Structures are given as structure tokens and as C-alpha cells.
């Protein structure tokens, strides 16, 4: 048995900028959608607050203070033998509100310095353009990715990043875990992914599909721009990989699992193939949904297919037709049931 990685294999670690940097308002950084989310734990849900409440704990505000101590941490990464390090750029360090005319030079310089430090230690940066931290201003003023204008603002931000860092960063991703928001039973995903909150007048599924369309367009345009700036750049998509097993061989359970997996893989299908799968087109047409489709969108999607698929794997789930629980653990779909063949973590997640 071969027990060695192939030459060139990138063994590393991964984080999210808002979960580690801290410095949430340092050097001109603006507030993000992450900065108004309180801490939580199993049984204690996180809250989205209208303003910063002085008696609440906001994890993104201090985190581990990587913003000020990254050199120490990168040196430790090198001691561990890391060959790559995946993190993200905080959009609000570059464009604090998201719609300014010019980027924030202090934010740009921070990432220059971080990438230089990684490269000095022989560590390849793998960079996500946005990881659950879009500008709060874009969420509050525009309704997040409901509004197609935010597509243009994201694309402009992506261009700034590619132009500035293309000689230092070869591997990129556009949106982190873009498919999380398909789970409409947890509205927090729409907020963290897309800066969207639902109203009583909304059809949640229609809003989701419009947001998805706008983000797929934004991602495709970013990929095309990266390749235009530097053909050597590799730009991928990133999904949460949570495969669903049928609880039994009952055809209804099998179909439930197939549909659950289809929801999970929808975004990757479009990113890779450059077009909507037939089942998605049928749903939009049958329901009469307005997803913001315009002439030319098909060409944009086709021209911006990704170079690779990134994914995070947390657990598997087991689903059963007709099952529904409003108290299921976070991350598990509401029609999930316990898998009697695998243990679970303290969070109730299957260890598989």
C-alpha cells in the first residue's frame, strides 16, 4: 500500500477570515453580516441583531486576533508542515460598505502582507473571495443578493482581488458553501450566504432561486475575469458535501434521498457544466418563478465554468419519507432521522 502523498500534493489547513481575524473594525474595515451574529452553542441558537448590543458576544469581533498575530500563527503552520492554507478575504476590508468607488488600501495591504508571509514559509495560499461575511451595508440597503446590482459589486471586488494578488495566489474559490442556503428550514443560511432575510410576503423558494441565480452569475463572471487577468489562475466553487442515505430500501425513502442529494449538488452542477439542469428549469417554469433571468445569462454561465470543485465534509445524513422534526440538530435536514449504524458527535452529527 502506498503511504506517501504524490509529489505536489498540497496538505494544509482551512479557516474563514471572519472566524479568526478579529479586528472587525480595524483600519477602515466595515461591518459585515457576520459582525451582527451573536455566539451560540448546541441548544442556544445564534441571534441576528439589528445593532451591536453591548452585552452580547459577537465571535467575529475578536476571534483569535489573527489580524494582529498572523506572523506567529503562520510560523506555527510551517512547523506543522503545512503546504497550503485556505482562508478568505474579508470583502469589508477591501470595500467597507461594498459600494464605494475605491477600495481600502489598508485592507489590501494586510492581505499582501499575509500572502507574503505564507509564501516566505513555503505555504501556498488558497483564497475564498467571500466566506459568510458580505458587507452589512449591501444586506441592509440592497437586500443582499436579491438585488442584481450586488452581482456587479461582487464582480468589481473580485477583479480588484485578482489584479492585486494574482502573482501571489494561484488557487481561488468564489463563494464558500454556496449550497447551504438550500436548507430553507434554517433561515440563517440565507443571511450568512447572501445577506437576505425573508418577509411574510416572500415565497422562500422563489427568493432562494433568485439569489442562487445572481450568485451563479457573479461566480461565473469572476472565473472569466480571473482567467482573463492570468490564465494560470485556478478558480473553483465550494460546496458543503453532506450526502443523504435512504433510511430503508422503501422506494419513497430512496426517492427522498435522491431529492436531498440533488438539492445539495445543484450549485456544483451549474458551476461545472455552465448551465441549469433540466429539473431546475422545469421547476422555475412550472412555478412561474421570477429568478431575475435576462437575455445573455446563459452565455455568462457557459463562459465561466470552474476549474475545480472544493467541498467541506461534516457528516452524512439519513432521510425518511414523511419524517419531519423542528428540533433536529443544526446542519441536519428536517426530514433526517438517526442512523442506527453510526455513532454521533456531541452535536448530534453522525460520525461516518
Q: Is residue 328 part of a domain?
A: yes
Whether 350 maps to a domain, the answer reads no
pLDDT of residue 311: 96
DSSP secondary structure letter of residue 138 = H
- Would you say residue 78 lies in a domain? yes
pLDDT for 207 equals 98
Numbers of helices and strands, H then E, in the chain? 12, 9
pLDDT tens for each residue of 196-243:
999 999 999 999 999 999 999 999 999 999 999 999 999 999 999 999
Which is nearest to 243 in space by CA: 339, 131, 340, 128?
339
Neighbours of 255 (CB within 10 A): 13
274: in domain: yes
SS3 175: strand
**What is the four-CA torsion angle of 57, 92, 134, 130, rounded to 10 degrees?**
-110
What pLDDT, on a 0 to 100 scale, did the predictor assign at position 194?
98
Tell me what pLDDT residue 333 has.
Answer: 72
- Neighbour tally for 306: CB within 10 Å: 23
Average pLDDT, the chain: 95
d(CA 326, CA 301): 36
pLDDT, position 328: 57
Which residue range forms the structural domain that includes residue 65?
A: 12-337
Q: Is 155 contained in some domain? A: yes
Q: What is the rounded distance in angstroms from the CA atom of residue 206 to the CA atom of residue 212?
A: 10
Residue 44: per-residue pLDDT: 85
- The total number of structural domains in the chain stands at 1
Which positions of the chain have pLDDT values less than 50? none
336-337 and 171-175 strand pairing: unpaired
| Vertex 40: Cα angle to 37 and 46 (nearest 5) | 40
pLDDT for residue 10: 94
Look at residue 258 in the predicted model and tell me its pLDDT: 96
Give me the pLDDT at residue 331, please.
65
Please report, for the domain that includes residue 160, its CATH number: 3.20.20.80
207 assigned to some structural domain: yes
The whole-number pLDDT of residue 5 equals 82
Q: What is the DSSP letter of 259?
A: H
Q: Give a yes or no: residue 346 inside a domain.
A: no
Number of neighbouring beta carbons within 10 Å of residue 96: 24
The pTM of this model reads: 0.95
Determine the pLDDT at residue 4: 83
Tens digits of residue pLDDT in 251-276: 999 999 999 999 999 999 999 999 99
> What pLDDT was estimated at residue 326?
58
Whether 251 maps to a domain, the answer reads: yes
Q: Could you give the dihedral angle defined by the CA atoms of residues 139, 142, 145 and 146, in that order, rounded to the nearest 10 degrees?
A: 120
CB contact at 8 A, 284 and 291: yes
- CB-based contact 63:18 (threshold 8 Å): yes
Amino acid at each position: 500500500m502506498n503511504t506517501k502523498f504524490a509529489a505536489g500534493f498540497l496538505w494544509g489547513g482551512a479557516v474563514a477570515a471572519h472566524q479568526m481575524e478579529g479586528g472587525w473594525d480595524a483600519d477602515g474595515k466595515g461591518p459585515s453580516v457576520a459582525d451582527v451574529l451573536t455566539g451560540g452553542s448546541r441548544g442556544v441558537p445564534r441571534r441576528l441583531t439589528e445593532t451591536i448590543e453591548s452585552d452580547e458576544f459577537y465571535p467575529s469581533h475578536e476571534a483569535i486576533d489573527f489580524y494582529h498575530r498572523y506572523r506567529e500563527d503562520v510560523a506555527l503552520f510551517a512547523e506543522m508542515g503545512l503546504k497550503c492554507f485556505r482562508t478568505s478575504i474579508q470583502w469589508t476590508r477591501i470595500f467597507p460598505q461594498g459600494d464605494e468607488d475605491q477600495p481600502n488600501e489598508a485592507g489590501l495591504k494586510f492581505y499582501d502582507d499575509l500572502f507574503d508571509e505564507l509564501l516566505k514559509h513555503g505555504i501556498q495560499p488558497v483564497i475564498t473571495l467571500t466566506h459568510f461575511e458580505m458587507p452589512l451595508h449591501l444586506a441592509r440597503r440592497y437586500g443582499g443578493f436579491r438585488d442584481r446590482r450586488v452581482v456587479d459589486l461582487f464582480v468589481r471586488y473580485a477583479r480588484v482581488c485578482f489584479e492585486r494578488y494574482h502573482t501571489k495566489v494561484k488557487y481561488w474559490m468564489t463563494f464558500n458553501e454556496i449550497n447551504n442556503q438550500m436548507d430553507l428550514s434554517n433561515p440563517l443560511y440565507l443571511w450568512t450566504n447572501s445577506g437576505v432575510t425573508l418577509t411574510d410576503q416572500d415565497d422562500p423558494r422563489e427568493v432562494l432561486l433568485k439569489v442562487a441565480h445572481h450568485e451563479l452569475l457573479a461566480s461565473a463572471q469572476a472565473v472569466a475575469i480571473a482567467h482573463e487577468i492570468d490564465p494560470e489562475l485556478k478558480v473553483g466553487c465550494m460546496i458543503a458535501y453532506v450526502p443523504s442515505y435512504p433510511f430503508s430500501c422503501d422506494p419513497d425513502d430512496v426517492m427522498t434521498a435522491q431529492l436531498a442529494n440533488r438539492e445539495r449538488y445543484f450549485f456544483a452542477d451549474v458551476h461545472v457544466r455552465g448551465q441549469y439542469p433540466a429539473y431546475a428549469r422545469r421547476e422555475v417554469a412550472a412555478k412561474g418563478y421570477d429568478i431575475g433571468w435576462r437575455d445573455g445569462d446563459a452565455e455568462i454561465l457557459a463562459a465561466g465554468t470552474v476549474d475545480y470543485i472544493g467541498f467541506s465534509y461534516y457528516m452524512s445524513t439519513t432521510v425518511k419519507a414523511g419524517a419531519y422534526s423542528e428540533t433536529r440538530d443544526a446542519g441536519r435536514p428536517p426530514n433526517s432521522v438517526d442512523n442506527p449504524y453510526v455513532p454521533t458527535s456531541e452535536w448530534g452529527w453522525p460520525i461516518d
